A and B are shown apart, each in its own frame.
Chain A
Amino acid sequence: MSDRQSTDDLIRRLAAAPPPVRFSPVAVLGGMAGLIVLGLTFYFAWFGLRSDLLTAWARLPVQAKTVLPGLLSILAIWLALGSARPGRRVVLWPVFVPVALALAMAAHRMATAEGPLLAETLGQTALACLASIAMLSALPLALGVFLLRRAAPTRPVLTGALLGVATGAGVAAGYALHCTEDSPLFVISWYGLAIAATGGVGGWLGHRLLRW
């Protein structure tokens, strides 16, 4: 039970306090991108890029496997940073554009492929794919959530989930340069699952850490 007198006191105390630390979207962007690139650099140094990268790059499914997650990552981080300030309208549909394109490619592959679709979808390296993307996402996502605690997301779960999707998709775009499985069916399943998982973790972290 407070009265107006104590409200005036509070205003006086708040006015005397120094302004809090500035929320910097550039720091979030730079810090997360830096950690993702650093992680991928170590990963490539250890496990290498795919040996046929230069020749394979001419094929559309190979390009798509880097370009589409990259696009998703950029859109998601842009929306996450927008949603971190009160009073900004968040329009979600852009993130579904790369997802729809990937689905279209998978559908096209399903219609034209000969041979067992299931084996093609399961691939040989699904677990390595999931584990790599998850491991490489951990630090950048943690940093992003930490820096966003200075912001004021009015939908913390959504902001956290977008941050997670941005991280997972960014890592996946780089991991694709190592991965030799080019079927859109494999990519949509396992890259999709990995990105959805980082998004889920991000949403959970948002619920736990981004409320204010």
Chain B
Amino acid sequence: MDLAFALSPRHVCSGPPTPVILATGRAEGRVPQEEVWEVLLARANDGDGTAFARFLHAVTPTLRAVIRRRGDGLPPDQHEDILQEVLLAIHLKRQTWRRDAPVRPWLYALARYKVVDAFRRRGASVTLPIEEFAEVLPEENVAVPLSGRDAELMLGMIDARSAMLVRAVALDGKTAEEAGEMVGITAGAARVALHRAMRRLSGLAERMMK
């Protein structure tokens, strides 16, 4: 189902019912992609997983549009994350939809709540990829507190494996996958270990600068 179809007026349930909606209701089953959201969600709540998958696929373009409209400040690569948060919320809260009510007001209110929540948690700050400004950004000429010698000193203060990971990724520019392979753990575990090591290091750096 494409976006234009999802947003077309004949699918808007508020307002007086038009013959088109009635026809859509009756045609349901014969023309599968025109299945009414209400029918799909009602079946889904009765335990029909296929109907629920179809429902989620059907509402996804609309949700993408909502998130895109609301999400000017965030990089588009985070929009899919937010979409997944909304889909998960639809699943968790799907029983709060009343069968005798239209789906759309329920869905939009739920999506608005989750989208606003997601953007608030990510902060309202505008994030832009820094690479595009590489030419115009002034070089930071403040004294870097973490010189090479300090770095080695601090790496000596954390455990050997973490130090190896940090050296590989932060100083030698390797990827988490390569670094993980070096010490014999998966990329995911390497990322977690790296994150914890960096946090310990920044704590150490703060103490050193005092």
Contact = CB atoms under 8 A, between A and B. Distances in A.
Binding between chains A and B: yes
A160 to B, nearest CB: 15
Interface residues of A, number: 30
Contacts of A211: 117
Contacts of B95: 19-23, 150
A154 B96 contact: no
Contact of B83 (A7, A19, A152): A7
Given A19-B95, A212-B89, A2 B84 contact: yes
Please classify how large the interface on chain B is, using the bins under 10, 10 to 19, 20 to 34, 35 or more.
Answer: 35 or more
Contacts, number: 96
B106 A1 contact: no
Given A152-B110, A154-B113, A11 B93 contact: no
Interface string B32-70: 000000000000111101101100110010000000000
16 contacts: A10-B87, A10-B88, A12-B53, A14-B56, A14-B91, A15-B49, A15-B53, A17-B49, A19-B44, A20-B91, A20-B92, A20-B95, A23-B96, A85-B98, A86-B93, A154-B112
Interface of B: 44-47, 49-50, 52-53, 56-57, 60, 77-78, 80-81, 83-84, 87-89, 91-98, 101, 105-110, 112-113, 117
Interface of A: 1-4, 6-7, 10-12, 14-23, 84-88, 150-152, 154, 211-212
